[in-house]
Amino acid sequence: MNFYLLSVIKAAVVSGVLMLTLLYLQWVERKLLAHIQVRLGPYRVGPHGLLQPIADTIKLLTKEDLMPPGVNKFFFLLAPFLAISLSLISISVVPFGPEVQAGGVRTWMQLTDLNIGVIFILAISSLTVYGVVLAGWASNSKYPLLGALRSSAQMISYELPLGLAVAAPLLMSNTLSLRELVQTQEHFYWGFFPAWNLLRGPWPQVIGFIVFMIAVFAETNRVPFDLPEAESELVAGFHTEYSSMKFAGFFMAEYANMITVCSMGTILFLGGWLPPFPAGYGSKFIPAAAFAAGGLVSLYHGLYTRHLRDRWSLTAFAGIFFAIAVVFSVPLLQPYLLPLFWFCAKTGLLLFVFIWVRGTQPRFRYDQLMRFAWSFLFPVAMVNLLATGLLVALFG
Amino acid sequence: MEHLWLIPAFPLLGFLTAGILGRRLPKAAINAVAVGSVFLSLLWSVKSLYSLWPLEMAHVERYFDWIRVADLRIGCDFAVDRLTAVMLLVVTGVGLLIHIYATGYMAHDNGYPRFFACLNLFMFFMLTLVLAANFLLMFVGWEGVGLSSYLLIGFWFLKKSATNAGNKAFIVNRIGDFGFSLAIFLVAMNFGSLDFGAVFQGLGGWPVEQSAGTLTLVGLLLLVGAAGKSAQIPLYVWLPDAMEGPTPVSALIHAATMVTAGVYMIARTAPIYLKAPMALEMVAYIGLATAFFAATIGLAQNDIKKVFAYSTVSQLGYMFLGVGVGAFSAGIFHLMTHAFFKALLFLGAGSVIHALAGEQDLRRMGGLRKKTPITFWTLVCASVSIAGVWPAAGFFSKDEILIAAYYHAPWMFWLGVVTAGMTAFYVFRAIFLAFFGEYRGDAHPHESPPSMTLPLVALAALSIGGGLISVPRWLEPMFPAPEHHSPALVVISVAAGLTGIALAFLFYVVRPGLADAAARHLGWLYRTVLNKYYVDEIYNATVVEPVVEGSRTVMWETVDVEIIDASVNGVAARARGVGQILRKLQSGYIRSYAAWVLLGAVAALIAMGFAGGAR
Amino acid sequence: MDAIVFLIFAGVAVVCAINVVVRVHPISSALSLIGVMGSLAVIYLLLGAQFIAAAQVFVYAGAIMVLFIFVIMLLNTGAEERSRGAWMARLAGTPLLMALLGILSFVIFWAFPRRIGVHFGAFTGGTVENIGRAIFTTYLLPFEITSILVLIAIVGAVTLGYKELD
Amino acid sequence: MPQAVPLSWYLILSAVLFTLGVAGFLFRRNIITMFMSIELMLNAVNLSFIAFSYHLKQVDGHVFTFFVMVVAAAEAAVGLAIILTVFKNRGTLQVDDISSMKD
């Protein structure tokens, strides 16, 4: 098949799925936060609020597009555009699964593979600060400017431990291509223990992974590092002056960034699309079993609930879950679906951590944030990198 | 490899230890380091010689290339042959005794560590000089002993006369070193090497020079060097003044070892002299003249150390006479015996001075025989030896020289005999004045501590028995000498010595007034001798004054002020003027600098284009 | 295809560079400079320098220019004022610049005839592996010296920053 | 086969960017803009390096570009620190006002 045509198809699929994920990630977050706080969360629009994201989108699209006086129009418009486009670019090098064959076409479940994929993602993510900074500066207003200043300092500071934490697994895998990174984690110790970089000898990257997670929290401006948009101090930070679709752009950019960094964490540390134990031990039945269990739980709740609406919706969900479980147990489809499942499961786990932390942690003070980056995280990442290098050189 | 380098290395280590840590170390530690290092040197010398026995051929050790210029290779090489062996044992042996003596003599001095550091430094350089296997390394030792000599003469640097004496010694030596260095250049030019072995081998192709030639010039220049170091006419003037240093220094450096370096050097370069008879003849003349001349001065000196100093000059003259008439082995033999008895004389004198709390004038001594018996008897041994009375050591070596001189030219023998008589006279004059009669001073004389008297006794034994060591036979393979036997000549020379002793006894013990009467009768002659022939005054008027005056008027007031200073100041003024113009460019505006840089870049590109450098 | 990509990004680079020079507000200049750097990164890719292209974005656009913008925003200075002597500088500088450009172009055309072309993909040596090998073998000493330079720069920047605080 | 881009175009682009950098340095008075002009010149030189590296099929030019980047980063850190200090002390970023020399 034509290379360009294939690329366009893949790009369409990936971006479509990504956009949908962005919309519903927000729903998932609201739901999870609500449950953490013992609330119900979105409930009214659609069954269990499932149509809430769409309603929000319509609301944002139709709101009045305010252009405050005194702003630098070009950069004011450029900023959200820059933010969303930069956060979407990175996903193009992320591999979701292995090479598959469908109808005479062999292709990778990946838009493109760069031999410098990791550096590419780092380079692009280092540019995301511009969206924030430009928004803050172009708004010509004091809170956005302060938010932008905080943001730029914070992102520059946390880029260093992030880079160092990323470099350590690279040393172990000896490649910069994301695809090859996953391939080097493919085998199992003693036949069942996964050789993911998180768990792999000679120096399991536990410290590296923790540093990476902390740094990406800061890079994506998420709690507890959401100083740039600290509402108690800076109203809404850099996007105070934004409204309607431009505001939505920043919002989507944040979630897209989260997805990107979680994918990257999955690939670097958690073995990408690889199962946690070999198929011979039954890992290929896990997805079907998981969905079936989910269906059973839904069905149970649907049958014994007090609300009439829930009785309908939960039973319907149970039906959908069972259907998915059936799809996953079809051997013909398993080569395509299993890698995708594992990749999404791991990324979803990391995303859950993001949301979990948001629901439970307080915000840092600004000076604490900077001191933490420079005098704790950076040295720890450095020592981890040195230890990795030494051990890889000795035993690798 | 015998690791000969260890021999000078021990004193060097001692020097570093005493010199760097000296002030923080207790006296006992400094004693141990200073004496111990020399003792180790002696031990290692004996050990090396023992394992190299019988040392028929020179043993050379090459350590590393020191200088390599074009074809000229100068190595850091040490060598031992039979001549070196004698010198090694004399230097380390006498040096050890004098170090032991100095621990007692200098016990109450503030500069104790500095003294021993310098003394060890001297030992290091002297051993380097002796062991060197080429001219340049020898020159290093040569200069080094000069330096240590300077440091030690001026040891009491608060005394004006001591620093002056140090300067004088250094400057006069410099004249000699100048000659030596010229000789080294000549050798390097003509032989393409400075290695003794290579040079002497290359000498085989040269004829014996009947008239003045290159080798004669080399010999004469070497003689200038030797005359400077060994205090020969006309460069002897520094040695009497050098007595300003502490007495162990006078004994070690200015009697036993360093001043004999000239003799050693001439003996070492004997092959050159044998090809240049004129130069060798000159050595003999210089030596004889110095021997006689210094002996006459010694007759009238009143300072006990000055007497012995002139006697040293005179005895060095003897050695020069010896090597000058071709009896190299006799010269070295006398060098050794002289080291024994002259070191003893100085150490004895030091003991006397120590006993009298610093008094050096013979006229304020007397009657010390009872108070300081050991000093007295050991000094008598030394005096007998220097007077050449059988069977003391001096007898053997002096007779070898005199007999060789007789067969070279009889008049040299007769002049030598007269000198020997005078030597006996003035040495015993000093003994009689100091130890006989009544005490004329006002101190409280006492015998010296054992650390001082023990070396005296050891040296006394060597002074008497040292003649049994037959150095000429030992050196036979290197310096073959015809056997001369002439009992008559021996009797004459011994008789001259005994006459001298008898006259001294008559003048200073039996009839004490006679000396003054004789002095009055001789009048101007006595005054001339007393004032050392006014040599210092003559040198001052003819050399020192013109140089000082010339330096002041020509070099300082004309060259320095009017040419050098003026040109430097002129350059500065011009630079300032140019700076005044150029500071307009230094405007402080970065962009103007950038414009200049751009202009320069464009100009450079254009120039490159024209030069075709772009490709 | 090559030519189109080159021309597009060369044009963007030149326009942005002109923008750097003519815009009076520093932040506009800085953002234009980022445009230049981004275009150059694409051109580096055309020349087979993948790693340098990524590093260009990562180091220049992602780090250095962020620092610039940070400082510009921190100082929050407005547009620059016109000062005396500006027309003189322009009068003297413009011919010089023209001369510089002319000579450079002349030398380039003289030394590199048109027939030497650039084909995308003809040179793929600019991988991390090759550059890493070169840095850690041939250029090890310069690399180490550079690391010391960076250390000195850090110390210097921190020192200057401290002085500013008190 | 489309017409390949001549190597000289890349070099001309480099020359043009360099000249623009010089122009910025000469004509601008804001010290930060001048600093950015220097970065522009460095970038132009980097482009030359990469182009020559392509021409010679060697990686050395890349290494040099890498070094230039490192030096530029160090320079930016120190230079901006100096600029901050200057601004703190002088209250201006106009280079012509910073000179403290006698006329």
Count of C-beta atoms within a 10 Å radius of residue B404: 26
Within-domain flag for C155: yes
Chain D adjacent subunits, 3+ CB pairs under 8 A: B, C
Residue of C81, C89, C164 lying closest to D85 (CB–CB): C164
C neighbours by CB contacts (3+ pairs under 8 Å): A, B, D
- Closest Cα of chain C to D13: distance in Å? 7
Q: For B162-204, how does the pLDDT look when each residue is reduced to its tens digit (9 = 90+)?
A: 999 999 999 999 999 999 999 999 999 888 889 998 898 888 8
What is the nearest CA distance from C131 to chain B, expressed in angstroms?
28
State the smallest CA–CA distance between residue C39 and chain D in angstroms: 11
Q: Is residue C122 part of a domain?
A: no
Choose among C50, C62, C67: nearest Cβ to A127: C62
- Looking at the complex, does the CB of residue C125 fall below 8 Å from at least one CB of chain D? yes
C89 in any annotated domain: no
Nearest to D95 among B586, B590, B595 (CB): B590
Asked whether the predicted pLDDT for residue B58 surpasses 90, the reply is no
Contact between chains at B588 and D101 (C-beta distance less than 8 A): yes
The answer to whether B615 contacts C99, with C-beta atoms less than 8 Å apart, is no
Contact check, Cβ <8 Å, B587/D25:
no
Of A119, A123, A149, the CB nearest to C73: A149
Same domain for C70 and C133, yes or no, is: no
- Cβ contact B609–C103 (<8 Å): yes
State yes or no: cis peptide before A80, omega within 30 of 0. no
Of the pLDDT bands very low, low, confident and very high (cuts 50, 70, 90), residue B489 is confident
Cross-chain Cβ contact A130/C66 below 8 Å: yes
Q: Give the per-residue pLDDT at C13.
A: 92
* Of B299, B303, B289, B139, the residue nearest B229 (C-alpha): B139
Cβ-based contacts of C110 with chain B (< 8 Å): 614
What is the gyration radius of the CA atoms in chain B, in angstroms? 29
For residue D63, the distance in angstroms to the closest alpha carbon of chain B comes to 24
For residues B457 and B465, what is the distance between their CA atoms, to the nearest angstrom? 12
Beta-carbon contacts of A332 under 8 Å, excluding residues fewer than 6 positions away, are none
Shortest distance, CA D21 to any CA of chain B (angstroms): 12
Chains A and D touch (3+ CB pairs under 8 A): no
**Cα B92–Cα B97–Cα B100 angle in degrees, nearest 5:** 120
Q: Which residues of C touch A4 (CB under 8 A)?
A: none
Count of CB pairs separated by less than 8 Å, C with D: 247
Residues in chain C, overall count? 166
| Confidence at residue A232, expressed as pLDDT on a 0 to 100 scale | 65
Q: Which residues of C touch D78 (CB under 8 A)?
A: 153, 156-157, 160
Residue D43 C-alpha, separation from nearest chain B C-alpha, in angstroms: 18
- Binary contact (C64, D39; C-beta < 8 A): yes
- The verdict on a CB contact (< 8 Å) between B609 and C96 is no
Q: What is the pLDDT at residue B614?
A: 47
User: Chain C partners of D36 at a C-beta cutoff of 8 Å?
Assistant: 20, 26, 29-30, 33, 68
Mean pLDDT of B550-570: 89
Q: Where are the alpha helices (DSSP H) in D3-59?
A: 7-27, 31-56
**Which residues make beta-bridge pairs with B69?**
B72
Nearest-Cα distance to chain B for D3, in Å, is 27
pLDDT tens figures, C87-115? 766 777 788 888 888 888 887 887 777 67
Name the band, by pLDDT with cuts 50, 70 and 90, for residue B117.
very high
List C-alpha distances in Å: A302 to A80, A315, A319. Answer: 42, 5, 11
Number of domains in chain C: 2
How far off is chain C from D51, nearest CA to CA, in Å? 7
- Tell whether the torsion through CA atoms of A26, A28, A31 and A32 is positive or negative: negative
- Helix count and strand count (H, E) for chain C: 7, 1
Chain C hits for D89, CB-CB cut-off 8 Å, are none
Residue whose C-alpha is closest to residue D52's, from C97, A114, C126, B608: C126
How many angstroms separate the CA of residue C47 from the nearest CA in chain D?
6
- The yes-or-no verdict on residue D1 having pLDDT over 50 is no
Window 56-75 of D, Cβ < 8 Å to B:
none
Any CB–CB contact under 8 A between B559 and chain C?
A: no
Test the D interface: residue of C31, C64, C107 with most D CBs within 10 Å: C64
Instruction: Give the model's pLDDT for residue A236.
Output: 67
Contact C160 D84 (CB under 8 A): yes
State mean pLDDT over C155-159: 87
For D12-69, the pLDDT digits (tens) are: 899 999 999 988 888 888 888 888 999 999 999 999 999 888 888 888 899 999 999 9
DSSP string, C71-93: HHHHHT--SPPP-TTHHHHHHHH
Q: What residue in C sits closest to D56 (Cα-Cα)?
A: C123
Q: Domain for residue C35, yes or no?
A: yes
What residue ranges of chain A have pLDDT lower than 50?
none
- Which of B587, B591, B595 is facing D101, going by the closest CB pair? B587
In contact, B120 and B34? CB cutoff 8 Å: yes
Q: Which residues of C touch B612 (CB under 8 A)?
A: none
Quote the minimal CA–CA distance from D24 to chain C in Å. 5
Residue of C nearest to A138 (CA): C27
pLDDT at B562: 87
Instruction: Determine the Cα angle at A25 with ends A95 and A323, to 5°.
Output: 75
Q: What is the pLDDT of residue B178?
A: 92
Cβ–Cβ under 8 Å, residues B97 and B343: yes
Asked whether C and B share 3 or more beta-carbon pairs under 8 angstroms, the answer is yes
Asked whether B185 and B244 are in contact (CB, 8 A), the reply is no
Question: C92 vs B602: CB contact, 8 Å cut-off?
Answer: no
Angle at A116 between CA A1 and CA A16, to 5 degrees: 50
pLDDT digit string, tens, across residues A22-48: 888 888 988 888 988 888 888 888 788
Q: Which of C21, C80, C90, C107 is best to mutate for the B interface (most B CBs within 10 A)?
A: C107
- Which residue in A123, A153, A159 is closest to C54 by CB distance? A123
Residue C132's domain comprises 128-166
Q: Using alpha carbons, select from B353, B387, B398, B592 the residue that is nearest to residue B499.
A: B387
Interface contact C77-D93, CB threshold 8 A: yes
Smallest Cβ distance to B614: which of C93, C100, C107? C107
Structural domain contains residue C48 = yes
The CATH class, in words, for D29-97 is: mainly alpha
Enumerate the residues of chain D whose CB falls inside 8 A of the CB of residue C112: 6-8, 11, 55
Largest CA distance in chain C: 62
What integer best gives the mean pLDDT of chain B? 88
CB atoms within 10 A of CB A187: 13
